[in-house]
């Protein structure tokens, strides 16, 4: 991928994607990251060897791809302050902000931007990311391929043709690593109550999640069948699963994902009106 890629913002998500890109073979010298804070940039430079810059406009010059990786709440001021540079350079712009719609960002950047909205997740850091992508009308086929290649370097990619579906992607993968981390916390706490040392419990729970995910990915059986295969009639798993069903775990998950997608929509409304 012989592109110069600039990340506007150098926080959790940018760091995860940059780490994954370098791991996949992208040269650190082809990557620039920006942030207002020199010390945040110094640690990124030391850790990953990328170029750093506190001036967003300078960082956009020479970039083929600009990834907007700041918090949604400051996206407007950041975009408006670099709109002239973006208009001059005409890079492919990829926004990873939750909620914010393509038309709003395009407007803040001065219009006619080739803009891809991407909803990634933090496992991109270890090359097992899952990203949803949406392109506006100004994105060429070559730029779509460029965005696919960039995000496939850190995981799997699914394109959506209806922009609103990115809110569903946020609910099922963007925010979802946190759901599984919560599950690890809860399982570790419960296992400690059952008498296991915390470190042992954590190791076993994480390895089990990894095993279940790998099986689900590699098997031709659906998750319901794989679950059934663990449940001996009258056995231990049946008791555990029955307890989860009785406690309406499915409803809790559905409600949480609905709340996630609703929040993305509400953020888009709040921020486009501000
Ligand atoms: N953290 C996650 O799991 C995910 C985050 N996202 C999206 O990624 C974006 C960034 O989120 P995080 O990385 O979690 O936030 P973060 O707070 O870790 O990073 C934000 C970065 O922006 C920098 N920044 C602040 N003002 C700036 C400016 N004027 N110019 C350049 N950089 C500036 C900060 O110094 C920091 O490096 C958000 O829009 C979020 O919706 C999307 C998917 C997953
Ligand atoms: O919580 C958030 O708003 C961001 C977007 C998806 C994951 N983290």
- Give the number of whichever ligand sits closest to the CA of residue 129: 1
For ligand 2, the distance from its centroid to the CA atom of residue 256, given in whole angstroms, is 13
Domains and their CATH numbers in the chain:
5-163 (3.40.50.720), 176-264 (1.10.3730.10)
Strand-pair category, 51-53 with 65-68:
unpaired
123 lines ligand 1 (CB under 6 A): no
Give the per-residue pLDDT at 2. 56
CA of 37 to the centre of ligand 2 (A): 22
Is residue 130 lining ligand 2, measured as CB closer than 6 Å?
A: no
Cα 34 to Cα 59, 78, 186, 195, distances in angstroms: 7, 11, 36, 47
Are 124 and 15 spatial neighbours (Cβ–Cβ below 8 Å)?
no
User: Of 122, 179, 182, 183, nearest to 155 (Cα)?
Assistant: 122
Determine whether the annotation assigns residue 8 to a binding site: yes
Name the token pair of 186.
């809860």
pTM: 0.95
pLDDT given for residue 3 in this prediction: 84
User: Tens of pLDDT along 141-175?
Assistant: 999 999 999 999 999 999 999 999 999 999 999 99
Q: Kindly report the average pLDDT of the chain as a whole number.
A: 96
Which ligand is nearest to the Cα of residue 56, counting in written order? 1
Q: Is the pLDDT at 195 greater than 70, yes or no?
A: yes
Which ligand ends up closest to the CA of 95? 1
58 lines ligand 1 (CB under 6 A): no
Q: Rounded to an integer, what distance in angstroms lies between the CA atom of residue 2 and that of residue 91?
A: 14
For the CA of 78, the nearest atom of ligand 1? 29
Chain centroid offset of residue 40 CA: 20
Does ligand 1 come within 6 angstroms of the Cβ of 121? yes
- What ipTM score was computed for the predicted complex, to two decimals? 0.98
- Ligand 2: centre distance to CA 195 (Å): 35
């Amino acid at each position: 991928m012989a592109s110069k890629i600039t990340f506007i913002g150098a926080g959790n998500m940018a760091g995860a994607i940059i780490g994954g890109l370098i791991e996949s073979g992208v040269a650190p010298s082809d990557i620039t990251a920006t942030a207002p804070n020199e010390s945040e940039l110094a640690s990124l430079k030391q850790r990953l060897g990328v170029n750093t810059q506190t001036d967003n406009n300078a960082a956009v010059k020479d970039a083929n791809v600009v990834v907007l990786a700041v918090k949604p709440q400051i996206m407007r001021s950041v975009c408006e302050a670099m709109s002239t540079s973006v208009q001059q350079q005409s890079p492919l712009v990829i926004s990873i902000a939750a909620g914010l719609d393509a038309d709003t960002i395009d407007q803040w950047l001065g219009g006619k931007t080739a803009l891809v909205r991407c909803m990634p997740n933090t496992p991109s850091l270890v090359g097992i990311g899952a990203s949803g992508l949406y392109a506006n009308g100004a994105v060429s086929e070559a730029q779509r391929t460029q965005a696919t290649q960039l995000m496939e370097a850190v995981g799997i990619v699914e394109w959506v043709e209806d922009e609103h579906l990115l809110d569903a992607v946020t609910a099922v993968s963007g925010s979802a690593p946190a759901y599984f981390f919560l599950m690890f916390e809860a399982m570790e706490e419960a296992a400690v109550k059952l008498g296991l040392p915390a470190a042992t419990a954590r190791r076993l729970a994480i390895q089990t999640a990894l095993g279940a995910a790998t099986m689900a990915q590699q098997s031709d059986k659906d998750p319901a069948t794989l679950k059934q295969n663990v449940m001996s009639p009258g056995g231990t798993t049946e008791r555990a699963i029955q307890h989860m069903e009785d406690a309406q775990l499915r409803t809790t998950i559905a409600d949480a994902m609905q709340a996630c997608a609703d929040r993305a929509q509400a953020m888009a409304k709040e921020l486009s009106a501000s």
